[in-house]
Homo-oligomer: A and B are copies of this chain.
Amino acid sequence: MFMPDAIGFIGLGIMGSPMAANLVKAGFDVAGHTRSRAGLDRLAAAGGRPVTGLAEAVTGADVVITMLPDSPDVEQVILGPDGVLAHARPGTLLIDMSTIRPRTARAVAAAAADRGLRPLDAPVSGGEQGAVEGVLSIMVGGAAADFEAAGPVLSALGTTIVHVGPSGAGQTVKAANQLVVAGTIQLLAEAIVLLEASGVDAHAGLQVLAGGLAGSTVLDRKGAGMLARTFTPGFRSDLHHKDLGIMLDAAREAGAVVPVGALLGQLMAALRAQGDGGLDHTALLLATERMSGRTHD
Contacts and interface: CB of A to CB of B under 8 A. Distances in A.
Nearest to A281: B213
Interface in A218-245: 218, 221, 245
Interface residues of A, number: 86
A211 B177 CA distance: 11
A155 B175 CA distance: 43
- Number of identical monomers bound together in the oligomeric complex: 4
Nearest to A173: B205
A211 B137 contact: yes
B194 A190 contact: no
From DSSP, what is the main secondary structure of chain A's interface residues? Answer: helix
B217 A221 contact: no
A164 B204 contact: yes
A257 B183 CA distance: 16
A284 to B, nearest CB: 10
Interface stretch (A18-26, A47-55, A56-64, A265-273): A265-273
B190 A205 contact: no
A194 B292 contact: no
A256 B197 contact: yes
A45 interface: no
B199 A165 contact: yes
Given A194-B251, A213-B125, A256-B198, A291 B293 contact: no
A188 interface: yes
B273 A212 contact: no
Interface string A179-222: 11101101110110111011111001101110111111110010
Interface of A: 102, 125-127, 137, 139, 141, 160, 162-166, 168-169, 172-173, 175-177, 179-181, 183-184, 186-188, 190-191, 193-195, 197-201, 204-205, 207-209, 211-218, 221, 245, 247-248, 250-267, 269-270, 272-275, 287-288, 290-294
